[in-house]
Amino acid sequence: MILFSQIVIAYLKLRRGVFFSSSYFSSIRVVSLMSAVLLIGLNSCTHERAINDEDIDIDTDGDGILDSEEIANGTNKNDPCDPVQNADYTAYDALNIFWTTSDCDNDGISNSDELANATNPYFDEGSVNDLDFAVPEFLPKLSELRIFQGDLSNLEFNNEVYEYEMSTPLFTDYSYKLRSIALPKGEQMTYQGEGLLLFPDNTVLSKTFYYLNDERNPALGKKIIETRILIKKNGTWMVGNYLWNAEQTDALLDEDAHIIPVDYIDDQGTNRMFNYKVPPKQLCFQCHDKNGSTIPVGPKARALNFSFKGKNQLQHFVDMQLLQGAPDVSQIPVLPDWSDDTISLDDRARAYLDVNCAHCHQPGGSYNLSFGDDFEFRYESSFEDTNIFETRVAIQGRMTTQISGYFMPLIGTTVIHAEGVELIEEYISSLE
Ligand code: HEC
Ligand code: HEC
């Protein structure tokens, strides 16, 4: 039905003389013939009400962006390849005839043929060159790592750098985070169960922290603070941090602690000000070490197993030949999003504790190595094994105090996470 109405509307637009680029013309002629036939049928059943396409908000060109939005953004609602998208774009409508017949990466192969060949309609594989890959070295300037391309402050990833998102993110003083995975040419990640993916040597993982000046309107700009990096060399993960300059043109490798005053307007219109703490290099290990070795924390299969930008992330990595050995994604557990209140309170609270606390509070984690395994917060542990019930008073006390050094999480935040505390308090009272 959607396709049918799109065809009808496309036909109406054609009659009204809307311009289409010449590459679509041959197919449109066929479509308009078909739709003329369909339109006769439609007219006969909807006599009284004339179709007015301005009434209907649709995505005419199938690029995944509604016409109204394209008009608002000044892009062409009849051109599936405008706006230009990154190689990892997947929100297109693969049934839309304008989209299928176009060639968004200009490699001479139509979008639909690319899908049929399992190549990327937004990326010309023939053009892959070394400059598309991140550099797995801690060079002095972030720009030299080629994680981003173009004007650095746009935070646009390079062609062979893939953004990912966590199903339930870590709270860090309300900052926004942008994460990426960059594998060396021709290499893949390997699935090894619902936990951490196995990465090849010379993988570069990045996480950039920033604040929107006004959360109600992203167009008003942002302040980028730091880009944290993990690079795997000879089986060992190394850490490095890049501090952004005031002009936001680049970031420099920096091992020290910094306090950056942050001042922005939140989504409720409230002005927020605090001192953001950039951790020094030695503190990275407090959260990223397990049994004394540095490891990534986030990219576990279960934390990536959800839809991001219109497609399941793990499936996307499989399709792009970046991930091997994974079963069907429906068989992989999902770490629930703690903020999704359609999910049970128990699951949300356990997911929150997993992502915000378990990196230190797990066997081999920095707390347990010094204080023993009395309690821990891994999502996969049974409730009895975690001893959350026995520790409930301390958990609540530690999350609500303002006393630094006593406050949990021990490092990484400076303000109390009101929404997180509310969730954990509700959870703890449900255990009584
Ligand atoms: C307070 C604990 C904490 C500290 C301190 C910390 N991290 Fe992390 N980091 C995490 C957690 C938890 C994640 C996963 C969740 C996420 O991505 O939001 C993460 C994610 C990352 C990632 C993305 C890949 C991954 O491991 O998930 C990078 C890169 C990273 N951290 C680098 C660093 C570097 C470099 C430092 C030191 C400058 C650092 N981190 C300090 C807790 C911490
Ligand atoms: C950066 C590592 C780190 C993170 C992250 C962290 N903790 Fe801790 N936690 C510690 C250390 C180290 C101690 C022991 C030192 C102390 O007692 O203050 C501790 C102590 C505690 C205690 C007291 C245990 C006792 O013996 O009384 C509780 C409860 C606790 N943490 C809960 C949490 C919760 C809940 C979170 C997440 C919201 C969290 N922690 C996040 C490192 C961490």
What is the 297 CA–ligand 1 centroid distance (Å)? 7
Q: Are 162 and 322 in contact (CB under 8 A)?
A: yes
Around 96, how many Cα atoms within 13 Å sit in the side-chain half-sphere?
A: 24
Predicted confidence at residue 55, as pLDDT, reads 60
Predicted confidence at residue 52, as pLDDT, reads 52
Predicted confidence at residue 26, as pLDDT, reads 38
366 lines ligand 2 (CB under 6 A): yes
Q: What ligand is nearest to the CA atom of residue 365?
A: 2
Q: What's the distance, Cα to Cα, between the start and end of the chain in Å?
A: 52
Q: Are 420 and 352 in contact (CB under 8 A)?
A: yes
296 lines ligand 1 (CB under 6 A): yes
Predicted confidence at residue 416, as pLDDT, reads 79
* Residue 299 to residue 311: CA distance in whole angstroms: 17
pLDDT above 90 coverage of the chain, percent: 71
* Residue 333 to residue 194: CA distance in whole angstroms: 6
Residues listed for the chain: 432
15 burial level (CB within 10 Å; 0-12, 13-18, 19+): exposed
> Which atom of ligand 2 is least distant from the CA of 365?
2
> Which atom of ligand 1 is least distant from the CA of 206?
29
206 lines ligand 1 (CB under 6 A): yes
Under 8 Å CB-to-CB from 53, ≥6 apart: which residues? 9, 12, 13
What is the 65 CA–ligand 1 centroid distance (Å)? 33
Q: Which residue has the tokens 């990484």?
A: 412
Predicted confidence at residue 40, as pLDDT, reads 40
CA dihedral 418, 420, 426, 432 (to 10 degrees): -120
Ligand 2 pocket test, candidate residues 338, 371, 398, most atoms within 8 A of CB = 398
What is the 142 CA–ligand 2 centroid distance (Å)? 33
> Which atom of ligand 2 is least distant from the CA of 286?
1
Ranges of the chain whose pLDDT falls below 70: 1-55, 127-128
361 lines ligand 1 (CB under 6 A): no
Q: What ligand is nearest to the CA atom of residue 240?
A: 1
How many other β-carbons are positioned within 10 Å of the β-carbon of residue 205? 22
170 lines ligand 1 (CB under 6 A): yes
195 lines ligand 1 (CB under 6 A): no
Under 8 Å CB-to-CB from 274, ≥6 apart: which residues? 173, 261, 262, 414, 415
172 lines ligand 2 (CB under 6 A): no
What is the 412 CA–ligand 1 centroid distance (Å)? 9
* Residue 256 to residue 140: CA distance in whole angstroms: 14
Closest CA to 135 of 181, 184, 180: 184
Q: Are 313 and 304 in contact (CB under 8 A)?
A: yes
Rg (CA), the chain: 25
Q: What ligand is nearest to the CA atom of residue 145?
A: 1
* Mean confidence (pLDDT) of the chain: 86
What is the 206 CA–ligand 1 centroid distance (Å)? 9
173 lines ligand 1 (CB under 6 A): no
User: Residue 242 is encoded by which pair of tokens?
Assistant: 């890049």
367 lines ligand 2 (CB under 6 A): yes
